Amino acid sequence: MFSRIAVFGLGLLGGSICRGLRSISHQGEIIAFARDPGKLGDALRGRVIDRVISMEAARLDGIDLLIICTPVFHSIELLNTILNDSGLGATSLVIDVGSVKSPIVEAALANPRADRFVGCHPMAGSERTGYGASRHDLYNQAPVIITPHARNARGDIEKVAGFWRSLGAVVVEAEASFHDSVVARTSHLPHLLACSAMHAIGGLAESMGPGLTNFMGNGFRDVTRIAAGSPEMWADIFAANGTNIAAAARDTIKIIEDVIARIEANGDPRMIADFFDRARELRKGI
């Protein structure tokens, strides 16, 4: 396994990796590179990390695994900086945890040292963000999608897969472009719908104030929970995966328009029931 690991961005995902490593008694050193090292006092005192170093002072020599846990566009910048760094070891590996994989894999492939990068996407987000929300068991039983590219060696993919499995994750592989088209529907579209549900009550929230919450059940809270997620992170994701998300959104508009047509056809419940039947069948399958 990797003896010295460095994390860029000690938030929910990065923090949970470090906590997870401690809980499995990882013997190596864990370093955090941070824009604001002063904010990582808790992680240092709790021995979740061994050292914290500012981004500017980051030296890559001797680090076996570099984990980029920042929003998508910042990750692409960081990846280029890292791959261009002469301190990056010949057998060191760089991974990320971003929700969109094609842009970062393409950025890697444009670099002579592309073989050092393996794209990863743990399906382990939350509407809670930041180090304070991190947990040692976040990756336990969570799927992690690895997106191998043309310059990756099989052995490196296996090393990265082993790393995630050591944290309890279930590893699957998918091509980056396929991954992006699928998560547009399994992750990005649900986020759009959750936020749209909030926007749809915006007028009522203004006219009714806090009394509106009396008209909400657990269903509303479930559907909209993820709308509390980081706007910056999600804006990056929507910009980076725009084509797939726009296609998924247009399909969803057609689905909704079809329901409206059924409602307005004659109000016969049987006209609408098959829409709900199909949704329930699909939901039971997951």
Residue 69: CA count within 13 A, CB half-sphere: 27
* Residues of this chain, 169-198, that bind a copy of itself according to CB under 8 A: 170, 172, 174, 179, 182-183, 185-187, 189-198
Phi-psi domain of 64 (left: phi exceeds 0; alpha: psi -120 through 50; beta: other): alpha
* Residues of this chain, 45-84, that bind a copy of itself according to CB under 8 A: 73
Q: How far is CA 7 from CA 13, 37, 244, in A?
A: 10, 12, 29
Question: At its nearest, how many Å lie between a copy of itself and the CB of residue 281?
Answer: 9
Question: Between residues 77 and 268, which has the closer beta carbon with respect to a copy of itself?
Answer: 268
Residue 266: CA count within 13 A, CB half-sphere: 4
Among 24, 110, 153, 239, binds a copy of itself (CB under 8 A): 239
- The verdict on 164 binding a copy of itself (CB under 8 A) reads no
Question: Between residues 44 and 249, which has the closer beta carbon with respect to a copy of itself?
Answer: 249
- Specify which residues 34 forms β-bridges with: 54
Q: How far apart are CA 261 and CA 45, in angstroms?
A: 60
Question: Between residues 42 and 251, which has the closer beta carbon with respect to a copy of itself?
Answer: 251
Question: At its nearest, how many Å lie between a copy of itself and the CB of residue 122?
Answer: 9
Pairing of the two strands 143-147 and 170-173: parallel
- The verdict on 282 binding a copy of itself (CB under 8 A) reads yes
Question: Between residues 110 and 239, which has the closer beta carbon with respect to a copy of itself?
Answer: 239
- The verdict on 263 binding a copy of itself (CB under 8 A) reads yes
Pairing of the two strands 29-34 and 4-8: parallel
- Specify which residues 117 forms β-bridges with: 94
Q: How far apart are CA 269 and CA 261, in angstroms?
A: 13
Question: Between residues 130 and 231, which has the closer beta carbon with respect to a copy of itself?
Answer: 231
Contact in structure between 79 and 118 (CB atoms under 8 Å)? no
Question: Between residues 112 and 202, which has the closer beta carbon with respect to a copy of itself?
Answer: 202
Using the rule CB under 8 A, give the single segment among 88-96, 108-116, 154-162, 259-267 that binds a copy of itself: 259-267
Q: Which amino acid is at 231?
A: P
- The verdict on 158 binding a copy of itself (CB under 8 A) reads no
Question: At its nearest, how many Å lie between a copy of itself and the CB of residue 67?
Answer: 19
Question: Between residues 150 and 286, which has the closer beta carbon with respect to a copy of itself?
Answer: 286
Task: Fill in the per-residue mask, 207 to 226: x = in contact with a copy of itself (CB under 8 A), - = not in contact.
Answer: -x-xxxxxxxxxxxxxxxxx
Q: How many residues does the chain have?
A: 286
- The verdict on 130 binding a copy of itself (CB under 8 A) reads no
- The verdict on 157 binding a copy of itself (CB under 8 A) reads no
Token pair 């923090």 in the structure block, residue: 15
Using the rule CB under 8 A, give the single segment among 33-41, 44-52, 60-68, 118-126 that binds a copy of itself: 118-126
Among 44, 53, 109, 123, binds a copy of itself (CB under 8 A): 123
- The verdict on 133 binding a copy of itself (CB under 8 A) reads no
What does the DSSP assignment read for 199-264?
A: HHTHHHHHHHGGGGGGG--HHHHHHHGGGGS-HHHHHHHHHHTHHHHHHHHHHHHHHHHHHHHHHH
Question: Between residues 38 and 217, which has the closer beta carbon with respect to a copy of itself?
Answer: 217
